[in-house]
């Protein structure tokens, strides 16, 4: 049997980092088993779905390299098929028409909530109220689940799924294990609204079945939904898919990840925080899944090793320090031109003069090994991007005293006279200069660094001179030499 997995976001916003992780797991599993990974846009809620959100989600997935193997299925285009299944379910006795209006249902919930509030405010309820509350809190059972009960003439109805009166349902989930729930605890959910449109619960099942999905990998906020959806498979006589409900990602404080923790949208990780997609994949994979002591897991290995059984049940917290360290690893490996293109598109780089951009391009092999992300790369590149006159900060300013300025003045002609402007040549010249006037490198290095970089982080001083180029380097030294 060919494995078919899917990612099925609802297009109401951006691609969430947690969603990206479940997409990654689905994608990996399909790749690991030589199967297919499909995309489905769950846009049945027309009020909240937007084309912009669809584009944003696809953009995020493509960036992460998690595109589907076929064009995405738009759930909204399949409403007729969903309704067809709902009616088939009614015919088979697995569902029924129910005329109870939405307002009645809402009134039930409101009353239950009021009673709960009263209880927590007053500590207890009268026996009658308590019984009423418990009754209201039980799953709703419509009087019309009795097939003998006649429907009121002309009243609009919804189609409800019928749950058996007794017994229980058992799910063997690849992550959650084997869990049972009794049918009595399950509500009889609505399949078709009174306007004839399908609900999410119905649409998911029908689409998964029709798309041939064999393994449903999704967030564990859907775990209990599995018990509500399975009776649809049973009612239609369809084979059940395998399930894997993966835990949600939490923020550093252990609470469900939200805006206040910082970045929740994957495009922020790309555009603002400056991470690489391959690093995101590696980090997200290790968040809740492991393979012995392996930390750096390139895609080939991930595909070779990934299996649903290694997934943890407990939610994992996002740790930016670790993400940085993984990203740093992949930055060092990344192609120079690629990194330059990514960097130059950033807001802090866009407006820079071409001469400086070229300087960065040339310095990329040295810059990329020193930064954990593109933000840090910009920081590490400051000694190349800052314009004259270089502002001296902190300790750098302290280095530039009269004596040191004199040494710079003495050194400058020797540098200017160098026939070859290369790292070894400069290193050699600096050593000779120090030997001639009887000082250690420590007497000239710090001040040279100070006037060249202003105190910004930078590589080896000889390399700094090379990367700056003759003219810029001499100009910066002249500012302070005397």
Partner RNA sequence: GGUCCCUUCGUCUAUCGGUUAGGACAUCUGGUUUUCAACCAGGAAAGAGGGGUUCGACUCCCCUAGGGACUGCCA
- Using CB under 7 A as the binding rule, the residues of this chain from 180 to 199 that contact RNA are 181, 185, 187, 189-190, 193-195, 199
Which stretch in 18-26, 174-182, 409-417, 470-478 sits in contact with RNA by CB under 7 A? 174-182
Cβ 131 to RNA, closest distance in Å?
Answer: 11
- For RNA, which residue of 176, 264, 373, 378 counts as binding (CB under 7 A)? 176
- For RNA, which residue of 13, 67, 101, 277 counts as binding (CB under 7 A)? 101
Cβ 425 to RNA, closest distance in Å?
Answer: 14
200 binds RNA (CB under 7 A): yes
With contacts defined by CB under 7 A, how many residues of the chain interact with RNA?
81
Which stretch in 83-91, 231-239, 319-327, 334-342 sits in contact with RNA by CB under 7 A? 319-327
d(CA 392, CA 405): 14
Cβ 424 to RNA, closest distance in Å?
Answer: 12
Q: What residues from 340 to 399 belong to the interface with RNA (CB under 7 A)?
A: 369-370, 380
117 binds RNA (CB under 7 A): no
Cβ 2 to RNA, closest distance in Å?
Answer: 26
Output 220 or 278, the one with its CB closest to RNA: 220
- For RNA, which residue of 117, 149, 256, 436 counts as binding (CB under 7 A)? 256
d(CA 90, CA 235): 9
Cis peptide bond N-terminal to 389, omega within 30: yes
Which stretch in 77-85, 146-154, 234-242, 308-316 sits in contact with RNA by CB under 7 A? 308-316
Cβ contacts of 467 within 8 Å, gap of 6 or more: 359, 362, 363, 366, 384, 459
Cβ 249 to RNA, closest distance in Å?
Answer: 9
User: Contact at 8 Å (CB) between 226 and 243?
Assistant: yes
Give the pair of three-digit tokens for residue 235.
């009612």
- For RNA, which residue of 81, 140, 268, 352 counts as binding (CB under 7 A)? 140
Give the DSSP per-residue string, 241-305.
Answer: PEEEEEPPEE-TTSSBP-GGGS--BHHHHHHTS---HHHHHHHHHHSSB--TT-----HHHHHHH
Sheet of 73-74, strand order: 73-74, 36-41, 4-7, 215-219, 242-246, 168-173, 177-182
286 binds RNA (CB under 7 A): yes
Output 3 or 175, the one with its CB closest to RNA: 175
d(CA 182, CA 166): 7
24 binds RNA (CB under 7 A): no
Cβ contacts of 34 within 8 Å, gap of 6 or more: 2, 3
Cβ 392 to RNA, closest distance in Å?
Answer: 13
d(CA 227, CA 236): 15
d(CA 156, CA 243): 36
Q: What residues from 433 to 452 belong to the interface with RNA (CB under 7 A)?
A: 441-442, 445-446, 449
d(CA 206, CA 198): 10
262 binds RNA (CB under 7 A): no
How many other C-beta atoms are found inside a 10 Å radius of the C-beta of residue 289? 23
Phi first, then psi, for residue 326 (nearest 5°) are -65, -45
179 binds RNA (CB under 7 A): yes
74 binds RNA (CB under 7 A): no
Q: What residues from 398 to 427 belong to the interface with RNA (CB under 7 A)?
A: none
288 binds RNA (CB under 7 A): yes
User: Contact at 8 Å (CB) between 392 and 455?
Assistant: yes
């Amino acid at each position: 049997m060919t494995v078919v997995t899917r990612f099925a976001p609802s297009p109401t916003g951006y691609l969430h980092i947690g969603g990206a992780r479940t997409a990654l797991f689905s994608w990996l599993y399909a790749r690991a088993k030589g199967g297919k990974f499909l995309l489905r846009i769950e846009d049945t809620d027309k009020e909240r779905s937007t084309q912009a959100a669809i584009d944003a989600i696809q953009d995020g997935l493509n960036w992460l390299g998690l595109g589907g193997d076929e064009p995405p299925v738009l759930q909204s285009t399949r409403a007729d098929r969903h309704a067809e299944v709902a009616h088939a379910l009614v015919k088979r006795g697995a569902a029924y028409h129910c005329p109870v209006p939405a307002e009645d249902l809402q009134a039930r919930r409101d009353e239950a909530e009021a009673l709960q509030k009263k209880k927590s405010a007053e500590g207890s309820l009268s026996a009658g109220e308590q019984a009423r509350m418990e009754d209201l809190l039980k799953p709703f059972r419509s009087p019309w689940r009795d097939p003998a009960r006649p429907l009121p003439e002309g009243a609009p109805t919804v189609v409800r799924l019928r749950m058996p009166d007794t017994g229980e349902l058992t799910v063997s989930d690849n992550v959650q294990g084997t869990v049972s729930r009794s049918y009595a605890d399950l509500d009889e959910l609505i399949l078709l609204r009174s306007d004839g449109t399908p609900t999410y619960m119905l649409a998911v099942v029908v689409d998964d079945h029709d798309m041939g999905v064999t393994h449903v990998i999704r967030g564990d906020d859907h775990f209990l939904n599995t018990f509500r959806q399975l009776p649809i498979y049973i009612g239609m006589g369809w084979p059940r898919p395998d399930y894997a409900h993966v835990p949600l990602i939490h923020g550093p404080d252990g609470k469900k990840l939200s805006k206040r923790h910082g970045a929740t949208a994957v495009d922020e990780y790309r555009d603002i925080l400056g991470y690489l997609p391959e690093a995101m994949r590696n980090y997200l994979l290790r968040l809740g899944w492991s393979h012995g002591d392996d930390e750096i897991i390139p895609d080939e290995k991930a595909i070779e090793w990934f299996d649903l059984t290694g997934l943890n049940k407990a939610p994992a917290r996002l740790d930016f320090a670790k993400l940085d360290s993984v990203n740093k690893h992949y930055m060092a490996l990344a192609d120079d031109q690629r990194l330059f293109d990514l960097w130059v598109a950033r807001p802090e780089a866009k407006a820079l003069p071409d001469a400086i951009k070229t300087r960065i391009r040339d310095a990329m092999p040295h810059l990329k090994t020193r930064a954990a992300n593109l933000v840090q790369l910009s920081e590490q590149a400051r000694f190349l991007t800052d314009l004259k006159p270089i502002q001296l900060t902190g300790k750098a300013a302290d280095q530039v005293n009269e004596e040191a300025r004199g040494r710079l003045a003495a050194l400058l002609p020797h540098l200017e006279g160098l026939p070859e402007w290369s790292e070894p040549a400069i290193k050699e010249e600096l050593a000779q200069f120090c030997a001639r006037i009887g000082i250690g490198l420590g007497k000239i290095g710090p001040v040279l660094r100070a006037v060249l970089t202003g105190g910004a982080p930078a590589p080896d001083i000889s390399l700094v001179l090379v990367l700056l180029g003759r003219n810029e380097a001499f100009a910066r030294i002249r500012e302070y030499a005397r």
